[in-house]
């Protein structure tokens, strides 16, 4: 059962998608993630790039984020996010878009800028590093933005992400990692 851990929507139960295509973040990983960034959420503009059921973005809103943009390539996922946003009372401070992450970044470049980003793609896609790189190149990360990545077996070369500082790099079992990055801004 997926629910909001704390904040104004604490305890609200969220709907999840049926089937294997979407994997909600486990409670253990979600708690570790939000413990790490708890003082960096309030009044932040959030991007939940592979939204799924919207659990990460909605948790951030519950903890004081000012707004969240939810992106997912699945129309069913975005409809589930909208339902969950209504359940938690955050429908009005959220934006929703059915889009592949590459198309969204290309179209939103120069328009949308975020302070906090969640990247939790389906593990088989192995596109988290590409998404981080594209967001930075598109100017969609405010200096000091926090980027939170959950993944499976994807190898992320953090040394290649020269504009970022690693805040946390932890593994949970053999199949899940959590990587939290601080965006330092593009190097001249």
Strands in 141-151's sheet, in edge-to-edge order, are 94-98, 67-72, 45-48, 114-119, 141-151, 176-183, 164-172
What integer pLDDT is reported at residue 29 of this predicted model?
82
Please give the domain boundaries of the chain with CATH numbers for all domains.
2-183 (3.40.50.150)
What integer pLDDT is reported at residue 122 of this predicted model?
78
Q: Cβ(14)–Cβ(55) under 8 Å?
A: yes
pTM of the predicted model, to two decimals? Answer: 0.93
Q: Over the range 80-106, which residues count as b (16 or more CB within 10 Å of their CB) and which as e?
A: bbeebbebbebeeebebebbebeebbe
Residue 53 is classified by DSSP as: T
What integer pLDDT is reported at residue 133 of this predicted model?
93
What integer pLDDT is reported at residue 170 of this predicted model?
87
What integer pLDDT is reported at residue 22 of this predicted model?
58
Q: What are the contacts of 106-113 at 24+ separation with CB within 8 A?
A: 106/138, 108/138, 108/140, 109/138, 109/139, 109/140, 110/138, 110/139, 112/47, 112/69, 112/140, 113/45, 113/139, 113/140, 113/141, 113/142
What integer pLDDT is reported at residue 52 of this predicted model?
93
| pLDDT tens for each residue of the chain, 188 residues long | 789 999 999 999 999 987 655 566 777 888 889 999 999 999 999 999 999 999 999 999 999 999 999 999 999 999 999 999 999 999 999 999 999 999 999 999 989 999 999 999 876 777 888 999 999 999 999 999 999 998 877 778 788 888 999 999 888 877 788 899 999 987 65
């Amino acid at each position: 059962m997926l629910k909001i851990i704390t904040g104004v929507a604490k305890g609200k139960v969220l709907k999840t998608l049926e089937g294997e295509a979407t994997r909600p973040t486990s409670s253990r990983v979600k708690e570790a993630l939000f413990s790490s960034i708890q003082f960096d959420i309030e009044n932040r503009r959030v991007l939940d790039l592979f939204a799924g059921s919207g659990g990460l973005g909605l948790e951030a809103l519950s903890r004081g984020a000012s707004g969240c943009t939810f992106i997912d390539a699945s129309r069913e996922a975005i409809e589930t996010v909208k339902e969950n946003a209504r359940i938690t009372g955050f429908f009005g401070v959220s934006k929703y878009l059915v889009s592949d992450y590459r198309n969204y970044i290309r179209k939103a470049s120069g328009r949308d800028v975020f302070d906090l980003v969640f990247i939790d793609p389906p593990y088989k896609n192995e596109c988290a590093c590409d998404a981080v790189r594209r967001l930075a190149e598109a100017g969609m990360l405010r200096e000091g933005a926090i980027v939170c990545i959950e993944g499976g077996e994807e190898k992320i070369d953090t040394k290649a992400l020269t504009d970022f500082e690693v805040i946390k790099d932890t593994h949970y079992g053999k199949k899940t990692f959590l990587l939290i990055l601080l965006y330092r801004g593009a190097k001249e």
